[in-house]
């Protein structure tokens, strides 16, 4: 009898909750904050704002997102964003798209291997700390920014990354300089998601 009452309570509780609305901020992203503070809250708020303003679903390849201050952005095992761009929402969007494309690479490994072979031939003398996978990912990040923000805003962000980003200045420079060639390579290998084609 006790278990029956618990079951009835759970069923009734479930009936009174509102259905999940895809338009609700965060409804199609599972966002969590690690050691929550004002910066993780601001980052989360900006990310949820993007979900209201833009349909991010075409470029979502994982729906789990962790926000953590002083962490390095990374895609796996859970997409994790730091709070460095809490006050720079467009750069936060760039970081989010960038990490999503690492998941896209994982889902399209055969095509990415082919792209990497082509990039090695074209850019045999890349700086030691740069990677060919990031050349492809940063190109896709730029395409995503163009798609959501327009070319002018995307170029502004790219220029700031070239001037200030200590991790990948060479890569962002190549993306800007050789945009058309990179687009041909990515398109030929079927690595432009539908909205970016």
pLDDT digits (tens, 9 = 90+) for 107-148: 999 999 999 999 999 999 998 878 999 999 999 999 999 999
pLDDT score at 38: 96
How far CA 48 is from CA of 2, 19, 65, 83, 101, in Å, comes to: 41, 19, 11, 14, 19
Look over the chain and give the mean of its residue pLDDT values, rounded to a whole number.
86
C-alpha 195, offset from chain centre: 15
pTM of the full structure: 0.84
H helix count then E strand count, the chain? 8, 3
Query: pLDDT tens digits for 40-70?
Result: 999 999 999 998 999 999 999 999 999 999 9
Distances, alpha carbon 167 to alpha carbons 64, 78, 88, 131, in Å: 25, 21, 18, 11
Q: Which two tokens stand for residue 39?
A: 């910066």
CB 136 within 8 A of CB 119: yes
Q: How many Å apart are CA 100 and CA 17, to the nearest integer?
A: 31
Minimum mean pLDDT range among 43-47, 128-132, 162-166, 181-185: 162-166
pLDDT tier for residue 95 given thresholds of 50, 70 and 90: very high
């Amino acid at each position: 009898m006790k278990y029956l009452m618990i079951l009835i309570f759970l069923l009734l509780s479930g009936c009174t909750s509102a259905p999940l609305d895809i338009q609700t901020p965060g409804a199609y992203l599972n966002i969590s904050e690690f050691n929550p503070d004002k910066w993780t809250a601001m980052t989360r708020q900006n990310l949820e704002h993007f979900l209201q303003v833009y349909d991010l679903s075409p470029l979502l390849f994982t729906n789990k997102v962790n926000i953590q201050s002083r962490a390095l952005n990374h895609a796996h095992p859970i997409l994790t964003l730091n709070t460095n761009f809490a006050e720079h929402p467009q750069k936060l969007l760039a970081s989010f798209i960038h990490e999503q494309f690492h998941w896209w690479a994982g889902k399209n490994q055969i095509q990415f291997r082919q792209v990497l072979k082509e990039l090695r031939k074209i850019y045999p003398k890349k700086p030691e700390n740069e990677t060919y996978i990031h050349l492809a990912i940063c190109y896709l990040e730029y395409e995503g920014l163009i798609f959501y923000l327009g070319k002018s805003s995307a170029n502004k962000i790219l220029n700031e990354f070239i001037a200030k980003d200590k991790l990948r200045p060479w890569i962002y420079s190549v993306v800007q300089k050789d945009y058309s060639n990179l687009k041909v390579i990515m398109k030929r290998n079927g690595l432009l998601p539908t909205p970016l084609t």
